Amino acid sequence: MKKKLFILLAIVLLAACSSTKEEAVATESDSINSNEITIEGVNGEVTLDFPAQKVVVLEWTYAENLLALGMQPAGMADIEGYGEYVNIEPQLDGSVVDVGGRQEPNLEVIASIEPDLIIGVSFRHDTMLAELESIAPTVIFNPYPDDESIDLYEEMEMTFKEMAKAVGKEAEAEQVLLDLDKKYEEAAAKIEGADLATNDVILTLAYSGPQAPEIRVFTPNSMASIILEKIGLNNIHEPEQFEIFGSSTFNVEGLVKYEDANYLFTVPDTDNIYENQLKGNKVWGNLTFVQENRLFDLGADTWLYGGPLSAGTLLDQIIDTMVNN
Number of domains comprising the chain: 2
308, 245: one domain: yes
pLDDT band at 56 (very low <50, low <70, confident <90, very high): very high
The pLDDT score that the predictor gives to residue 236 is 97
Range of the domain at 148: 37-170
Angle, helices 308-319/223-230, rounded to nearest 10 degrees? 50
44, 144: one domain: yes
130, 259: one domain: no
Q: Flag whether pLDDT at 3 surpasses 90.
A: no
The pLDDT score that the predictor gives to residue 212 is 85
**Final residue before a domain boundary, out of 115, 137, 170:** 170
299, 203: one domain: yes
**Final residue before a domain boundary, out of 170, 191, 223:** 170
Amino acid letter for position 239: P
**Position 162 in a domain:** yes
The pLDDT score that the predictor gives to residue 5 is 47
279, 301: one domain: yes
106, 194: one domain: no
Q: Flag whether pLDDT at 4 surpasses 80.
A: no
**Position 237 in a domain:** yes
CB burial class (10 A; 0-12, 13-18, 19+) of residue 323?
Answer: middle
Q: What integer is the mean pLDDT of 203-229?
A: 93
pLDDT band at 219 (very low <50, low <70, confident <90, very high): very high
105, 151: one domain: yes
Q: Which residue has the higher pLDDT, 95 or 22?
A: 95
Q: Report the 3 state secondary structure along 120-164.
A: EEHHHHHHHHHHHHCCCCEEEECCCCCCCCCCHHHHHHHHHHHHH
Taking only the tens place, the pLDDT of each residue in 83-99 is: 888 889 899 999 999 99
CA distance 8 to 219: 81
**Position 90 in a domain:** yes
- pTM for this prediction: 0.85
Strands 234-235, 213-218: pairing is unpaired
The pLDDT score that the predictor gives to residue 130 is 93
186, 310: one domain: yes
Q: Flag whether pLDDT at 137 surpasses 80.
A: yes
Residue 252's closest CA among 298, 296, 304, 208? 208
The pLDDT score that the predictor gives to residue 30 is 46
* CATH code (residue 312): 3.40.50.1980
